[in-house]
Amino acid sequence: MAKWLLMLFDAFSLSIPCQFHPKVNSTIIMPRVSRHHIVNRSFCTFQPLSPQDALEERLILDSIAWPETPLLPSPISLEQTTDPAQSTVTILPGRKGGQWHVGDQLEVMIQTFDFQGRPKKSGGDFITARLHNRKLEAGVAGQVVDHLNGSYSAVFSLLWEGDAQVEVTLVHPSEAVTLLNRLNREQPDRTYFKSLYRSGSVSETTICNVCLRPTKQLKCNYTDLRTGEPWFCYKPTNLSCDTRINHFRVAFKQSLTLKEEKLFQSGVNQKVCIQGIGSFNVLPKEDGQLKVKSSSVTSLPSGYYYQGVWRALGGTTVSQFNSSAITQCLKGKAVHMYGDSTVRQWFEFLNALLPGLKEFDLHSRKQVGPFMSLDYENNILVTYRCHGPPIHWTPIPTRELRYIANELDDLNAGPNTVVVLSIWAHISTYPMEIYIRRLQSIRRAVVRLLDTNPGTMVIIRTANSRALSLQVSLTNSDWYSLQCDKVLKAMFKGLKVHLIDAWEMTLAHHLPHNIHPPPPIIKNMVNCLFSYICPQKHG
Ligand SMILES: *[C@@H]1O[C@H](CO)[C@@H](O)[C@H](O)[C@H]1NC(C)=O
Ligand SMILES: *[C@@H]1O[C@H](CO)[C@@H](O)[C@H](O)[C@H]1NC(C)=O
Ligand SMILES: *[C@@H]1O[C@H](CO)[C@@H](O)[C@H](O)[C@H]1NC(C)=O
Ligand SMILES: *[C@@H]1O[C@H](CO)[C@@H](O)[C@H](O)[C@H]1NC(C)=O
Ligand SMILES: *[C@@H]1O[C@H](CO)[C@@H](O)[C@H](O)[C@H]1NC(C)=O
């Protein structure tokens, strides 16, 4: 697939600094076992794809396939699912028999056991791993390899000298992942939306979604003619489809049995550490040793924290930008941010940080925007606009429902334009095809933008890990985010865009996971952003 994509985007150079490493993710699954999602044709309808896009879709779905749970007993019995409290982590001695140096890789073996204490014989658990040293504020994400027999390896690059502690986390047992996968196939409408219609004194509200179940009610088809993005509402009885005035999220329909809910218990089997190893010591780099490199099964992490500062691997150095350095960097530039609240957070961060940047009151709705900030003296413009539906916020006027691809097509860009995108958190309850198609249309727009404005810079923020409750898991579990993250990274590989690896930046950090990462992480992300926009000569 990579080769095919590279052919497709041959015209672009491959300079990818501030380290986005062109690798798929931190969880490798091999061999591929099952197909991922299958669109539920009974109530999801899509525009046909070009043969090229259809091929890409198929290859991507194959590449993110997750092992199925062999025989999911019905009803599910918790006793036979992974119990992180009984599962074990052991360090493999490595080729130097228990001595590690900076530049080596460390491998740990994870054996899973169920609640009855029996070793698990199948894979598919969603496990993450991190190596860290709290005192040094150092941390790096590990790569987890599923051996499909109940054991997993986690592989870490050793990047600092001194203590290092292994942390392995069961995010979900495989049965929970199977359920999450099934929910997207069978209930892609479990988060649901409404629109208000009004004409004169008559008003009505109807249900809307990407996939709308067939009923006797007629539908209004709001499929975007330029991008082909699907969106439907039931037709109001007494009003026409063009009287729709807003969009809002109503609720989330809880649809699991009590037994199934038991698969998502914080502190029991959801984001729980697997105990095992204390810390061990990493010795200085050996003389004559080569740089840290990836082995045959794993690739390098995209970066790591040291003294709280994100260091990218393999590419340009991440520099530290204070407010005056950022203002200097942005002089004469326009930065346009599009997407969900995780990029709006950057907009807010800049507003708070830069004394000269003042938000102009557009009388927009809180959360939704659009927002605009100006620094007149330095001719800086920063804007934010949310992405098109599905979007979970409260009432958004229909006129403000804009697809990123269309916005990019309409953008008056130039060499002083920076475009920042973030799209993941609102699109996770659907079959993956929806996300792939959304990214295909955005990518086409990015290609057109860069063709006409080669100097424009495009930066994409990837998905991040977040705190999980039952409801959050069912709508925006880290598992969904990881799958989106893999798709995003694969689809923009080889393009002249920069990625900021929010996934690893949140996984590697010691602060608790949060949909809106805390300021120290945002500061590091913003430093990455400005290291792309204004690369420093000497780091
Ligand atoms: C599972 O597979 C891995 C990799 O092939 C192997 O090293 C390990 O011994 C196996 N574990 C069991 C319990 O069979
Ligand atoms: C499609 O959705 C319906 C209704 O939720 C469900 O019964 C059916 O199993 C789904 N089909 C597939 C292929 O998942
Ligand atoms: C919705 O409209 C689009 C664009 O006109 C069209 O291609 C599609 O077939 C329509 N879908 C349905 C279900 O009517
Ligand atoms: C539509 O109009 C009819 C006639 O005025 C009225 O009886 C009915 O309640 C209206 N339906 C809705 C959903 O507003
Ligand atoms: C920002 O950093 C530069 C050096 O990198 C320093 O000279 C300057 O005083 C700093 N400004 C502020 C406001 O901290």
Q: What is the pLDDT of residues 296-318, one digit of tens each?
A: 556 789 999 999 999 999 677 89
Q: Can you say whether residue 34 is alpha, beta or left, with left for phi > 0 and alpha for psi between -120 and 50 degrees?
A: beta
Q: 64 CA to middle of ligand 2, Å?
A: 21
Note the pLDDT of residue 69: 77
In this structure, of 62-71, 283-292, 509-518, the range with the lowest mean pLDDT score is 283-292
User: Which pLDDT score, from 0 to 100, does residue 94 have?
Assistant: 74
Residue 489 is assigned to a structural domain of this protein: yes
Q: 223 CA to middle of ligand 4, Å?
A: 27
Q: Which domain holds residue 478?
A: 315-533
pLDDT of residue 97: 77
- pLDDT-based confidence at residue 398 (cuts at 50, 70, 90): very high
The residue out of 221, 252, 283 marking a domain boundary is: 252
Question: 333-380: per-residue pLDDT in tens?
Answer: 999 999 999 999 999 999 999 999 999 999 998 889 999 999 999 999
Q: Could you tell me if residue 103 is inside a domain?
A: no
Burial 259-285 (b: 16+ CB within 10 A, else e): ebebbbeeeebbbbebebeeebebeeb
- How many whole angstroms from its chain centre is CA 240? 38
Q: Can you tell me which atom of ligand 4 is nearest the CA of 238?
A: 1
Nearest CA residue ID for atom 3, ligand 2 = 186
Does position 434 have pLDDT exceeding 50, yes or no? yes
- For residue 185, the model assigns a pLDDT of 87
Establish whether residue 42 lines the binding site of ligand 2, counting it when its CB lies within 6 angstroms of any ligand atom.
yes
Percent of the chain with pLDDT over 70: 89
Mean pLDDT within 442-455: 97
Residue 468 pLDDT greater than 90, yes or no: yes
The answer, yes or no, to whether residue 41 has pLDDT greater than 90, is no
Output the pLDDT for position 298: 63
For the Cβ of 40 lying below 6 angstroms from any atom of ligand 2, the answer is yes
Nearest CA to ligand 1 atom 12: 149
Q: Which of 177, 188, 143 lies closest to 36, judged by CA?
A: 177
Stated pTM of the model = 0.91
Ligand 1, residues at Cβ distance < 6 Å: 147, 149, 151
Residue 201: what pLDDT? 97
Range 477-482 average pLDDT: 98
Closest ligand by atom to 328 CA: 5
- Which band of pLDDT confidence, cut at 50, 70 and 90, is reported for residue 275? confident
Neighbours of 506 (CB within 10 A): 25
239 alpha carbon – ligand 4 mean position (Å): 10
Determine which residue's CA is closest to atom 11 belonging to ligand 2: 40
Q: Which residues line ligand 4 (CB under 6 A)?
A: 204, 237-238
Inside any domain, residue 219: yes
- Compute, in degrees rounded to 10, the torsion defined by CA atoms 463, 467, 472, 476: 10
CATH code (residue 399): 3.40.50.1110
45 lines ligand 3 (CB under 6 A): yes
Claim to verify: residue 248 and residue 320 sit in the same structural domain: no
Residues 506 and 373 grouped into a single domain: yes
The answer on pLDDT for 1 being more than 80 is no
Q: pLDDT-based confidence at 2, cuts 50/70/90?
A: very low
Is 225 inside any structural domain? yes
Ligand 5 in contact with 320 (CB < 6 A)?
no
More confident position, 410 or 10: 410
Residue 275 lies in a domain: no
Closest atom, ligand 3, to C-alpha of 230: 1
- Residue with CA closest to ligand 1 atom 2: 147
Last residue of a domain, one of 230, 252, 274: 252
Nearby residues of 444 by Cβ (< 8 Å), 6 or more positions away: 405
Ligand 4 center from residue 237 Cα (angstroms)? 7
- 46 Cα to the center of ligand 3, angstroms: 8
pLDDT at 16: 29
- Number of structural domains (the chain) is 2
pLDDT of 93 reads 84
Residue 406 domain-assigned (yes or no): yes
> Is residue 122 domain-resident?
no
Residue 72 lies in a domain: no
What's the mean pLDDT when you consider all of the chain?
Answer: 89
Distance from the CA of 185 to the center of ligand 2, in angstroms?
A: 6
| 325 plus 245 within the same structural domain | no
| Side-chain half-sphere exposure of 526, counting CA atoms within 13 A | 30
Q: Beta strand 380-386 with 371-375: parallel, antiparallel or unpaired?
A: antiparallel
What is the side-by-side strand order in the sheet with 27-29? 27-29, 143-146, 151-157, 105-111, 88-91
Q: For residue 449, what pLDDT is reported?
A: 98
